[in-house]
Amino acid sequence: RVKEQGKNNFQFYTSEMNEMISKKMKLEIGLRKALERNEFKVVYQPQVDVCTGKVIGAEALIRWHHPEMGNISPAEFIPIAEETGLILPIGDWVLYEACHQSKQWHKEGCPPLRIAVNISSRQFQQHHFIGTVTKILKKTGVAPSHLEFELTESIIQDSKHAISTMQQLKDMGISLSIDDFGTGYSSLSYLKTFPIDTLKIDQSFIRNIFTDPKDASLVSTIINMAHNLDLKVIAEGVETLEQLNFLKQRRCNEAQGYFFSRPISAEEMRGIFQNQSITME
Ligand code: C2E
Ligand code: MG
Ligand code: MG
Ligand code: MG
């Protein structure tokens, strides 16, 4: 009887695993074809100055529509793209697309605004990353001062290479921010040696500021620390007016989240850039 149960458990476990593996394989096969099949697009989420309420820029976020599986979240496919190396062509594509779009908005009469692009560690660590960025800037004609790269703490592992690459990007005029700040496992000492402009407080801290006093303390502390280090702070995942007011009181510089807008199409974003306003639902 014990033996039987053990066997059943084992079978249940493997069939569940098989399902996971086959979904992952499906995604991987799909990812290999997605670029040439034009299945990706980029959406944009406004970033707002907390003091003035003005939109000062937008974060570019990739979207993937798989022909059979439908919309797949980047949280699901980006890790696979990173594992397989497919993030390199995909990341280059997003960067080109965001720069091209930024130039387009400018041509359409929008004031020049900052576009933030997520750069995966693997992309950042390529030897020709600086070369790729230079080429894309030249081809699209975007001013580097209107570009921000969102990096995660994981790039800090290879610190010597990271500092030199970051410095080259800074010298070109590109701003750098640390995304999901506070969720990595790196020590804080990198904050004094890395040429960073902005800390982006992870949405997991913002979510619970009124339910968990510890999260409220962490958010306040990150804002103060950033200011003491002469860094800007942006909060992500702001969903309510109460959260925004909390951040305002503590002098957080910028905010982004569903309270202002969900990620939207380039056309919708153009409307916001032109009118400098967001219609609250
Ligand atoms: P991230 O860079 O931290 O982006 C923020 C995520 O939070 C986005 O999810 C955004 O849609 C979502 N978000 C924004 N405001 C709110 C809010 O008020 N509440 C909640 N609950 N969520 C909000 P998304 O677009 O699904 O992207 C997930 C992650 O996938 C990103 O996290 C980023 O790490 C990665 N990613 C997305 N696009 C790219 C890309 O082009 N390249 C790379 N390397 N990674 C990307
Ligand atoms: Mg980001
Ligand atoms: Mg983030
Ligand atoms: Mg995040």
**Nearest ligand 1 atom to alpha carbon 43:** 25
User: Nearest residue CA, atom 10 of ligand 1?
Assistant: 263
For residues 253 and 197, what is the distance between their CA atoms, to the nearest angstrom? 12
Q: What is the atom index within ligand 1 of the atom nearest the CA of 91?
A: 42
Strand bridging mode 147-151 / 70-72: unpaired
Paired strand residues for 71: 65
Query: Which residues on neighbouring strands pair with residue 149, listed in sequence order?
Result: 117, 176
Residue owning the nearest CA to atom 24 of ligand 1: 74
Which among 3, 71, 85 is positioned nearest to 43, based on CA atoms? Answer: 71
Contact (Cβ atoms closer than 8 angstroms) between residue 232 and residue 175:
no
Residue nearest atom 27 of ligand 1, based on CA coordinates: 74
Write the pLDDT tens digit of every residue in 86-144.
Answer: 999 999 999 999 999 999 999 999 988 999 999 999 999 999 999 999 999 999 999 99
Determine which helix (DSSP H) or strand (DSSP E) holds 216, and give its type and residue range. Answer: helix 213-228
Q: Which atom of ligand 1 is nearest to the CA of 236?
A: 15
- Residue appearing with tokens 């004094």: 192
Protein residue with its CA nearest to atom 2 in ligand 1: 118
| Ligand 1, atom 32, residue with closest C-alpha | 75
pLDDT at 72: 97
CA distance 76 to 199: 24
Q: Which two tokens stand for residue 255?
A: 């905010």
Supply the pTM of this predicted model. 0.93
Look at residue 92 in the predicted model and tell me its pLDDT.
97
Quickly list DSSP for 103-137: HHHHHTTPPP-EEEEE--HHHHTSTTHHHHHHHHH
Residues in the chain, pLDDT under 50? 1-4, 280-281
What is the best residue among 39, 40, 118 to mutate for testing ligand 1's pocket, by most ligand atoms within 8 Å of CB?
A: 118
**Structure token digits, residue 265:** 């199409």
Name residues contacting ligand 1 (CB within 6 A): 45, 61-62, 73-75, 78, 91, 94, 118, 120, 150, 179-180, 203, 236-239, 257-258, 263
Phi/psi at 80 (5° precision): -70, -40
Q: Is 65 exposed, middle or buried (0-12, 13-18, 19+ CB in 10 A)?
A: middle
Distance of alpha carbon 226 from alpha carbon 138, whole angstroms: 33
* pLDDT value of residue 172: 98
CA of 36 to the centre of ligand 2 (A): 25
Longest dimension (CA), the chain: 75
Buried b (16+ CB within 10 A) or exposed e, 197-223: ebbbbbbebbbebeeeeebbebbbebb
CB atoms within 5 A of ion ligand 4 belong to 180
Which of ligand 1's atoms lies nearest the C-alpha of 200? Answer: 3
pLDDT reported for residue 281: 39
Kindly indicate whether the ipTM for this predicted assembly is greater than 0.90, answering yes or no. Answer: yes
Instruction: Give yes or no for a contact between 201 and 234, defined as CB atoms under 8 angstroms apart.
Output: yes
